[in-house]
């Protein structure tokens, strides 16, 4: 039996709004504690200063989802630039839905809002990274039209690498 989807309010966060600021820290901490986010909570100063630090980045924006006035979902995004088409793009950096609200289409609603904002900004595409083992997120992203990135199938798919500083 399918669960009935609750009424969800999805909006672009205002980093100066105290409720939005608290929600950002709370939701990102929830994600960090999950195995897909590394399994460790965020330090208190990160939770408390996240919105303020994001507000200093002109190309950052976040989308929040609320059910009955409580935060249940978050997407953090950063505008980048595609040199191949000479237009901006939006990189989706974090996607969070609280455990009890997964499977209700909340991520899709937030990603639809991100796409709307990206189109308003004249962006050419949305990008994101997802862990190989996160099959639930992969399924949600496929529903929204995302796919692996490759220029030439003989060269293979793009890989996401990092180097800590």
Question: Taking 50 as the threshold, does the pLDDT of residue 1 lie above it?
Answer: no
CA atoms within 13 A on the CB side of 92: 24
What's the pTM value of the predicted model, to 2 decimals?
0.91
pLDDT digit string, tens, across residues 109-164:
999 999 999 999 999 999 999 988 899 899 999 999 999 888 888 888 887 888 88
Domains in the chain (CATH in brackets) are 9-147 (3.40.630.30)
Question: Taking 80 as the threshold, does the pLDDT of residue 9 lie above it?
Answer: yes
pLDDT digit string, tens, across residues 72-107:
999 999 999 999 999 999 999 999 999 999 989 999
Question: Taking 90 as the threshold, does the pLDDT of residue 49 lie above it?
Answer: yes
CB 127 within 8 A of CB 118: no
* Other beta carbons within 10 Å of 76: 22
Spatial strand order of the sheet with 126-128 comes to 9-12, 60-67, 70-82, 87-97, 126-128
């Amino acid at each position: 039996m399918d669960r009935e989807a609750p009424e969800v309010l999805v909006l672009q966060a205002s980093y100066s709004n105290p409720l939005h600021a608290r929600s950002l820290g709370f939701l990102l901490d929830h994600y960090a504690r999950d195995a897909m986010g590394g399994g460790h909570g965020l330090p208190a100063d990160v939770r408390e200063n996240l919105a303020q630090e994001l507000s200093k980045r002109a190309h950052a924006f976040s989308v929040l989802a609320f059910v009955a006035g409580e935060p249940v979902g978050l997407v953090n995004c950063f505008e980048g630039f595609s040199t191949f088409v000479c237009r901006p793009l939006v990189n989706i950096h974090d996607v969070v839905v609280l455990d009890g609200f997964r499977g209700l289409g909340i991520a899709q609603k937030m990603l639809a809002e991100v796409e709307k904002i990206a189109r308003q900004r004249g962006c050419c595409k949305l990008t994101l990274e997802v862990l190989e083992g996160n099959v639930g997120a992969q399924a949600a992203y496929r529903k929204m039209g995302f796919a692996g990135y490759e220029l030439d199938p003989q060269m293979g798919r793009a890989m996401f690498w990092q180097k800590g500083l």
